[in-house]
Chain A
Amino acid sequence: EAGVTQFPSHSVIEKGQTVTLRCDPISGHDNLYWYRRVMGKEIKFLLHFVKESKQDESGMPNNRFLAERTGGTYSTLKVQPAELEDSGVYFCASSQEQLGGLYGYTFGSGTRLTVV
């Protein structure tokens, strides 16, 4: 079974530019999550999709971040315009169960975003 796939693995962009991150969850997993780790800090929840619907987007930092999951398969996270503080590693995770946090999700390898 293929795991959670994220790309790109690395992205370096200039402040003010736009970047789109993509996540392909494990096939059949309705629940998809985005998390972010800013250097040296905790991994922080951004949002949770159930199929194509946003179940919880309480962790999204501001309106420069837009997440979509059209068709309930892969998801994209767009940052526009990017700021320096957006630098970090963005993780995607998926689970079959709605209460995925209870049993632990499967994480992707992450996208390391550097805004210069």
Chain B
Amino acid sequence: GQQLNQSPQSMFIQEGEDVSMNCTSSSIFNTWLWYKQDPGEGPVLLIALYKAGELTSNGRLTAQFGITRKDSFLNISASIPSDVGIYFCAGYDTGTASKLTFGTGTRLQVTL
């Protein structure tokens, strides 16, 4: 089946630093989504990308849909303590009905 390789697995950064994480796939996706999971909660959608090359921002978050449609990255600028959590990329392919393929997640820890 389709697999997404997400890196890094975990990051320890200081408050105020910028963060970058990415996701690569062996197959093409038509949509890339980025989710964040806070401790004890379910994943919450941060950004959705629908077109190859698209660059989208949501506050301090910026995500891009790779030109090859096989990768995506997420940047967080000027991190703050509430950015702590697990970030998941997810790919959607219209050929797979309604299901999403998720990456393994990037655990972000922010120190003061």
Contact = CB atoms under 8 A, between A and B. Distances in A.
Question: Which of A42, A91, A95 is packed against the most chain B CB atoms within 10 Å?
Answer: A42
A44 interface: yes
Interface of A: 4, 31, 33, 35, 40-45, 48, 55-56, 58-59, 91, 93, 95, 98-105, 107-110
B42 A48 contact: no
A19 B48 CA distance: 35
B40 A109 contact: yes
B4 A42 contact: yes
A109 B41 contact: yes
Contacts of A108: 42
Nearest to B103: A42
A33 B96 CA distance: 14
B98 A56 contact: yes
B111 to A, nearest CB: 22
Contacts of A93: 42
A101 B98 contact: yes
Interface in B65-112: 88, 90, 92, 94, 96-105
A52 to B, nearest CB: 16
Given A43-B43, A43-B102, A48 B97 contact: yes
